[in-house]
Chains A and B, each alone.
Chain A
């Protein structure tokens, strides 16, 4: 799949990522990364959810449709969910949504699932850094540009209006 920036790395492009982090593990991992002064790029806008199982596919699609360059979903390790087994639902939902998004032409790097416990600040920071670099290499996503027709649409619409106006004058 090609994309607007070609295959070359694009150092000037700052990806906009959205991260849905669960309250009990991954958000605390991000907290831990913060208080441990672990450095990682600021490209991810983090949204705290009570559980990664709360992340409806609608949220991910909405993020992409509004111009996000990538989306990360992060939760407790399988078997360690605060709500017993909801992160298994996250896992199934993630792979189902991923297959759909791949068919729509999205690169897999732009939609990632990460498990990070409250003690894994470093792992979360590493995952975010890695994803930022991967998406930076891919370039901007700009999903809404996909449905903006080129200028020929306006040209054709004007042509119809003119044609009909002329016909009205003739038939008058």
Chain B
């Protein structure tokens, strides 16, 4: 088990390293270099050369790569080309705001969708199942910005309960942001939950039809106990990776929804950095997203291990 754990974590670190190389190379592969990008095509060669020296672009690529990764490990992602502030601090301020939305989304989407999925699975082919399945199919088919727009229409304009857009900057406090968090979180949760509900439903149906669940029922156990103790661990296994993928998807899904609500999160920062060609910031965001992806998958694998004693107790490999 320990060796499995060690191998899994090593694989995660390896993936991250590879991702950092790819992110760095992608930026290198852009036509021209950072200096010409920043100064535009009308810049004099002298100005470009000066900026290159200032940014250290005259050094070899691998040297700049190790500097960048070394700095990133200490939270130093360089300085923004637009604001001149430290990228690390800027990204983490926006990231914190996004984490607020993401956290709430995950909390509601994951618990809600598991409950709904299990209900649909237990009431297979009866009205609760049909209702849940249809609604989740709709949630899956509609893009998140449409859901967001419809939510704004309903709950900001028709019923003025929540603000439609955020008027604060990235330094807003949690208290200032909190009223504005619900609509984007709900929009994301609807889309995200749809996938998990469908997966949870299918695997609950599979597991409820299994012989061990039948045996547990025939032992005279209550439905609650059969579901929570016997069915759920097995049913959650295939669902875990869908959850992980969806949580990771949030990193991208958040970008679109944040722009609808003008919410000062990482997605908004990404979009404005792309428009301003603020390469150090884009690089940092790309790296942070890959960390999120790797961390989600690692968490799913570890949870799988916790739920599956076959993996935990594996003494020797066959």
A, B co-complexed: no
On B, residues with C-beta under 8 Å from A are: none
